A = this chain, B = another copy of it.
Amino acid sequence: MLRINAERLIRDLLHLRAFGSQSSGVVRPAFSQADMQARYWLREQFEQAGLTSRIDGVGNVLGFSPHPGKALLIGSHADSQPTGGWLDGAMGVIYALEIAKSLSESDSYRHLPVDIVALQDEESRFIGCLGAKSLTGVLDDHVVRHATDKDGIRLVDALEAAGLSEVPRERLDRTRYIGFLEAHIEQGPTLEVNSKRIGIVTEIVGVRGLKAIFRGQQNHAGTTMMALRRDASTALYAFAHRINQVFAAHAAERSVWTMGRAKLVPNATSIIPGYAELDLQFRDASESQLDRFTALAYETADEIAKSSLVGVELIEARSPVAPSKMSESLYSYLERSARQHVPNAWIHMPSGAFHDAGVMADFMPSAMLFIPSIGGISHDFAEDSHRDDLILGCQVMATAVVDLLASC
């Protein structure tokens, strides 16, 4: 068995955290100064693990093994949410680094070909899973040229500022790999609530996003009688409340939906809003359930429009993401390892969050391992995991990597 170095793992995690550290979280969005500094450090670390390392034209840090044979690719993303937690993405990158370092020190396993990667912009500053999309050849040049962040900064300018304009983008050679493994914090409470320490991901749920637009008439809140109002906010509240009722009545076991972003114009206490927007996002592991929700959203929009003086329009707010199956032949090794290390404390589970492995799965067999998030909290400075779980997850992954490569 390959024993990882727990102390070094934690030290490297804390080292990566220092780039963009703020309070208990990190602020390390893709291509920020903190992000690029983290990537230079990672490249150096990848080299120290005996790999040939380079940063490619979209900021991916790759480490290639010099050893022959079909390789495994391991990693995750190193960028963070605008105000993110310290483990989201970072943990999977440092697991990959630690496994590479452990392999390079092991007389028995040094020869095993493992490539590692710190992917770029999983968190959608410009393009969600930009790095994974670029590596797997599904990134559209036209999209790259026109992508901007929420402040209107263009991706091409961010690439230039990061010194990457002239750097070639890597493309993975599909024939080189057995598959891709990604470790990640769960970012939800399922493991914790069920007292489990390892989650083996069976599929990544699909996501659809709709934007509801409400068009009424802005007016004075004191002088416009109720019967004459065309209040965009009233229609929004009615729509949102109704969606919560009809979606609940038609939900599958693990369906989720969220209306976490609303905009009223002008958003003032004494003014009847003439315009409003609401984002409706929903996720499920089944396409037919996603279709059902889409149909219900359109029915509800029609219903609200018919019963008010406000226009209601639904538009697709994002490209739909189809549910992604993980490779059973790959995750069976994670299972075997979990059984060995924590026989009664692992489960199969879908991933409710999207991950780079969802993009990779369209290119080659992919699998994911989760460890528990304390309180299920993520995308927040308060995100954290127990140290024992951080160490266990890496050990489970290392064992699986060695078994998998040894069996090929």
| Chain A interfacial positions (CB closer than 8 Å to B) | 83, 186-190, 193, 205, 207, 209, 217-226, 228, 231, 233-234, 237-238, 240-241, 244, 248, 251, 254-264, 266-273, 279, 281, 283, 317-318, 351-354, 376-380
Q: Nearest B residue to A273 by beta-carbon distance? A: B260
Is A219 in contact with B377, judged by CB distance below 8 angstroms? yes
B225, B317, B354: the one contacting A222 at CB < 8 Å is B354
Residues of B within 8 A of A205 (CB): 222
CB pair A264–B262 under 8 Å, yes or no, is yes
Determine whether the beta carbon of B254 is less than 8 Å from that of A270.
no
A353 and B220 within 8 A (CB): yes
Kindly report which residue of chain B lies nearest to residue A265, judged by CB atoms: B260
**Integer count of this chain's copies in the complex:** 2
Asked, given contacts A219-B378, A241-B241, A269-B317, whether A224 binds B264 with beta carbons under 8 Å apart, the answer is no
CA distance A78 to B259 in the complex (A): 41
Contact A226 B255, beta carbon cutoff 8 Å:
yes
Residues of B within 8 A of A271 (CB): 258, 260, 379
Q: Is the CB of B258 within 8 A of A267?
A: no
Q: Do residues B218 and A380 form an inter-chain contact, with CB atoms below 8 A? A: yes
- In the complex, residue of chain B having the shortest beta-carbon distance to the beta carbon of A355: B222
User: 21 A–B contact pairs at CB < 8 A?
Assistant: A187-B220, A188-B220, A188-B222, A188-B225, A190-B223, A209-B269, A218-B377, A219-B376, A219-B379, A219-B380, A222-B351, A223-B376, A223-B378, A224-B352, A233-B258, A233-B259, A234-B244, A234-B259, A237-B241, A260-B270, A270-B281
